[in-house]
Amino acid sequence: MSYTLYLDCFAGASGDMLLGALLDCGLDFEHLKAELSKLGVEGYQLSLNRVDRSGISATKFDVRLIEEERRHEHGHDHDHHDHHDHRSLTRIKKIISTSRLSETVKEKAQTIFQRLGEAESKIHNIPIDSVHFHEVGAIDSIVDIIGVCIGLEALRIERIIASPLHVGSGTFKCAHGTYPVPGPATAELLKGAPVYSNEIEGELMTPTGAAVISTLVSGYGPMPMMRIEQIGYGAGTREYPKFPNVLRAVIGRLEDDADQTPATITVIEANIDDLSPQIFGYLMERVLAAGALDIFYTPVQMKKNRPGTLLTLLCNQADREKMVDIIFSETTTLGVRYRTEQREILRREKVPVETPYGKITLKISRRPDGRMINMTPEFEDCRLAAERHQVSLREVQLAAIKAHH
């Protein structure tokens, strides 16, 4: 059985907050340590403590370098990142690929670091192979990112949905100097995600947190209808007056298929005037099999007065690049457009009813308050029953609706 994770990011998110929240939800600390040992990286210690953040009891996860621990014992407790090595993307990916971690954990972790590398490459205008991480390349952030991937696998999380992201305000100091909040890397990673800022000063969303969330989250919006099984709080390092610096993680099972579609989706469009009609059908099959939420074609009149087709595809934000790759590989278009949109959907449930013609499934749609909006008998059930009993399809459909009442 798999679960959905909802991240309530009212205080932003960082790598240690994400991992702390998963540990608070039941991730076994000993299992985490055993899995992290498969990385083959040494020189650090892990700690787990209960802390209070503005009245909320939360789990504080920390990674401390052994060298740093010795400095602390001798009274030389400098900035947390001063003594960390800078690591290249290639080196980090090699550490991951040559480890004994599961393939699922490796794939997720490498994808997260790849996104970080692409963001840094764009910001500093350097080739991605030349990117050297500073804070993110430190051992603690490597442990945080891979630890989150380990936790998601251990807790059997299949889908992640997040609230709008609180990024904080003001400025912060890093290896390159003093930057505004959100930092350049964080801002680049969160393109397309709903973010906001208020009077809380500080870097609430770190590059590590932004990389993990923007890579793994399938959508953003309010908490979906779900049966909650675990709630955990991961504590941030700083304390703010009257503001709980915690990340809340909610794990549960979604009520039905409709709730699995996030409120925020990506819309991809392309105008095409030189493609065989046969390919359009094949393309539709491919993208739907790859996870597209919907795809449809609209006849349009294009430049030079040519008839063409407007391709419109809806997908989860995390699937955008995959969908664009398929469109480019299967069609003749030279470019696509994409945008983020909000959509509202009805709850759907399937209810079996007994009729004189056998069991028929009704598809019922409701508003969030429970009001029924529509009720439709499953077409295939009705068709088979009509053929089997030699009656009209409409007669079976009416019998199914009557059976519900």
Which DSSP string do the residues of 255-281 spell out, in sequence order? SSGGGGS-SEEEEEEEEESS--HHHHH
Same-domain status, 166 and 208 = yes
Q: In this structure, is the dihedral angle defined by the CA atoms of residues 238, 243, 247 and 248, taken in order, positive or negative?
A: positive
d(C-alpha 302, C-alpha 311), whole Å: 13
Q: Which of 10, 54, 1 minimizes the C-alpha distance to 222? A: 10
| Whether pLDDT at 51 is above 90 | yes
- Return the minimum-mean-pLDDT range out of 99-103, 122-126, 136-140, 396-400: 136-140
d(C-alpha 82, C-alpha 135), whole Å: 9
Same-domain status, 255 and 269 = no
The reported pLDDT for the residue numbered 79 is 35
Average of pLDDT values for 98-113?
92
Distance from CA of residue 174 to its chain's centroid? Answer: 27
Q: Which of 145, 106, 117, 123 minimizes the C-alpha distance to 13? A: 145
Average of pLDDT values for 91-112?
91
Q: Which of 218, 243, 260 finishes a domain?
A: 260
Same-domain status, 76 and 206 = yes
Same-domain status, 208 and 140 = yes
Q: Which of 342, 375, 391 finishes a domain?
A: 342
Of residues 396 and 70, more confidently modeled: 396
What range defines the domain where residue 300 resides? Answer: 264-342
pTM above 0.75, yes or no: no
Q: Which of 299, 315, 342 finishes a domain?
A: 342
Same-domain status, 290 and 380 = no
Same-domain status, 91 and 206 = yes
Contact 182, 190 (CB under 8 A): yes
Same-domain status, 363 and 327 = no
Same-domain status, 335 and 225 = no
Of residues 354 and 81, more confidently modeled: 354
Residue 298 sits in a domain of what CATH number?
Answer: 3.30.70.1380
Contact 132, 88 (CB under 8 A): yes
| Whether pLDDT at 260 is above 60 | no
pLDDT digits (tens, 9 = 90+) for 325-363: 999 999 999 999 999 888 877 877 888 899 999 999 999
Q: In this structure, is the dihedral angle defined by the CA atoms of residues 224, 227, 230 and 233, taken in order, positive or negative?
A: positive
pLDDT digits (tens, 9 = 90+) for 281-327: 999 999 998 889 999 999 999 988 889 999 999 998 878 999 999 99
Q: In this structure, is the dihedral angle defined by the CA atoms of residues 190, 191, 197 and 203, taken in order, positive or negative?
A: positive
The continuous run of DSSP H or E covering 46 comes out as: strand 44-53
Same-domain status, 303 and 373 = no
Tokens at residue 129, please? 């192979």
Contact 313, 294 (CB under 8 A): yes
Tokens at residue 285, please? 């099959």
Task: Give the angle subtended at the CA of 351 by the CAs of 350 and 353, to the nearest 5°.
Answer: 145
Same-domain status, 253 and 155 = yes
Q: How many other C-beta atoms are found inside a 10 Å radius of the C-beta of residue 307?
A: 9
Same-domain status, 314 and 249 = no
Average of pLDDT values for 85-112?
86
End-to-end CA distance of the chain: 33
Same-domain status, 291 and 396 = no
d(C-alpha 234, C-alpha 237), whole Å: 10
Q: What percent of the chain has pLDDT over 70?
A: 88
Q: Tokens 């400098």 identify what position?
A: 78
- Model confidence band, residue 90 (pLDDT cutoffs 50, 70, 90): confident
What is the tally of structural domains in the chain?
3
d(C-alpha 260, C-alpha 75), whole Å: 51
Dihedral in degrees, nearest 10, Cα atoms 258, 259, 260, 264? 100
pLDDT digits (tens, 9 = 90+) for 209-253: 999 999 999 888 888 888 899 999 999 999 888 889 999 999 998
Helix (H, G, I), strand (E, B) or coil at 318: helix
The secondary structure of residue 12, as a DSSP letter, is B
